[in-house]
């Protein structure tokens, strides 16, 4: 069994509507094609990743490379867990929880994308709650971080709804221009007051703990 060698394949996060887990090969192909069809409108640029550049096939292949790269580069010192979000077996997008020197700093960072047809239905918020439940309730994180462009109002709304607070700004280059992102932080103390966490179940974490150095 693959999960015996790579126990993250046994890890599943279940929310009221979604299942978050590592995709199998055919599921990964479906997820890649979903990204190829678009994750935001052509007149927008809500991410540093240039999702509208290249062909749909180029975008799909980048999803494959990103997934395989996260698996290949995994280490206790620096890891990135990219989970597909499924509803009734259909892939909706991908959410990622990553950390560096986690055993020392106890901080994680989240990011995500959803296929265009699945946006605006609350799936992004629900999937983030699933990731945060894993981070705080099972990995014992002290804080979760995210960075959001100031004009990405949808993502800003998700973060602030879940209790994130302002934590400064960062500046990146986008298409030859400087663009400002808000840094947002959710502390463990604030997370423990959230009622959303009570509707999440995490299965298969025991076998995964050594992969996180726990």
Sheet holding 177-187, edge to edge: 165-174, 177-187, 143-149, 107-114, 90-100, 78-87, 19-21, 12-14, 201-203
Task: Decide if pLDDT at 53 tops 90.
Answer: no
Task: Decide if pLDDT at 45 tops 70.
Answer: no
Out of 33-37, 52-56, 92-96, 184-188, least confident range: 52-56
> Tell me: the pLDDT tens digits for 126-156?
999 999 999 999 999 999 999 888 777 777 8
Q: What pLDDT, on the 0 to 100 scale, is given for residue 41?
A: 63
Task: Decide if pLDDT at 43 tops 80.
Answer: no
Q: What pLDDT, on the 0 to 100 scale, is given for residue 8?
A: 96
What's the whole-number mean pLDDT along residues 50-54? 61
Beta bridge mates, 110: 97
Q: Residue 137 has what DSSP assignment?
A: I
Q: What pLDDT, on the 0 to 100 scale, is given for residue 149?
A: 81
- Comparing CA positions, the residue from 36, 45, 35 lying closest to residue 173 is 45
Q: Give the whole-angstrom CA distance, residue 78 versus residue 26.
A: 27
Instruction: Indicate the pLDDT class of residue 12, thresholds 50, 70 and 90.
Output: very high
Report the length, in residues, of the chain: 214
Q: What pLDDT, on the 0 to 100 scale, is given for residue 35?
A: 84
Instruction: Indicate the pLDDT class of residue 56, thresholds 50, 70 and 90.
Output: confident
Helices (H), 119-209: 123-133, 153-161, 188-191, 205-208
Beta bridge mates, 147: 183
Q: Give the whole-angstrom CA distance, residue 87 versus residue 18.
A: 5
Q: Give the whole-angstrom CA distance, residue 202 versus residue 139.
A: 11
Residue reference for tokens 């979903």: 34
Q: What pLDDT, on the 0 to 100 scale, is given for residue 46?
A: 52
Instruction: Indicate the pLDDT class of residue 169, thresholds 50, 70 and 90.
Output: very high
> Tell me: the pLDDT tens digits for 78-129?
999 999 999 999 999 999 999 999 999 999 999 888 888 888 899 999 999 9
Task: Decide if pLDDT at 39 tops 70.
Answer: no
Q: What pLDDT, on the 0 to 100 scale, is given for residue 51?
A: 52
Q: Which residues contact 188 (CB under 8 A, 6 or more apart)?
A: 136, 141, 142, 143
Task: Decide if pLDDT at 173 tops 80.
Answer: no
Mean per-residue pLDDT of the chain: 89
Task: Decide if pLDDT at 77 tops 80.
Answer: yes
């Amino acid at each position: 069994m693959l999960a015996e060698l790579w126990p993250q394949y046994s890890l599943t996060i279940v929310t009221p509507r979604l299942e978050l887990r590592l995709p199998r090969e055919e599921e990964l192909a479906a997820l890649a094609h979903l990204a190829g069809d678009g994750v935001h409108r052509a007149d927008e640029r809500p991410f540093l990743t240039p999702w509208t550049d290249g062909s749909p096939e180029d975008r799909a292949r980048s999803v494959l490379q990103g997934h395989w790269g996260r698996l290949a580069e995994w280490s206790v010192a620096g890891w990135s867990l990219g989970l597909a979000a499924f509803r009734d077996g259909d892939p909706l997008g991908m959410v990622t929880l990553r950390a560096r020197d986690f055993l020392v700093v106890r901080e994680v960072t989240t990011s995500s994308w959803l296929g265009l047809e699945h946006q605006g239905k609350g799936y992004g918020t629900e999937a983030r709650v699933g990731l945060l439940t894993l981070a705080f309730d099972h990995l014992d994180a002290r804080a979760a971080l995210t960075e959001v462009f100031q004009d990405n109002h949808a993502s800003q709304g998700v973060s602030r709804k879940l209790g994130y607070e302002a934590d400064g700004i960062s500046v990146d280059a986008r298409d030859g221009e400087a663009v400002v992102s808000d840094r947002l932080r959710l502390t463990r103390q604030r997370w423990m007051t959230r009622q959303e966490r009570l509707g999440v179940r995490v299965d298969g974490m025991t076998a995964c703990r050594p992969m996180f150095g726990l």
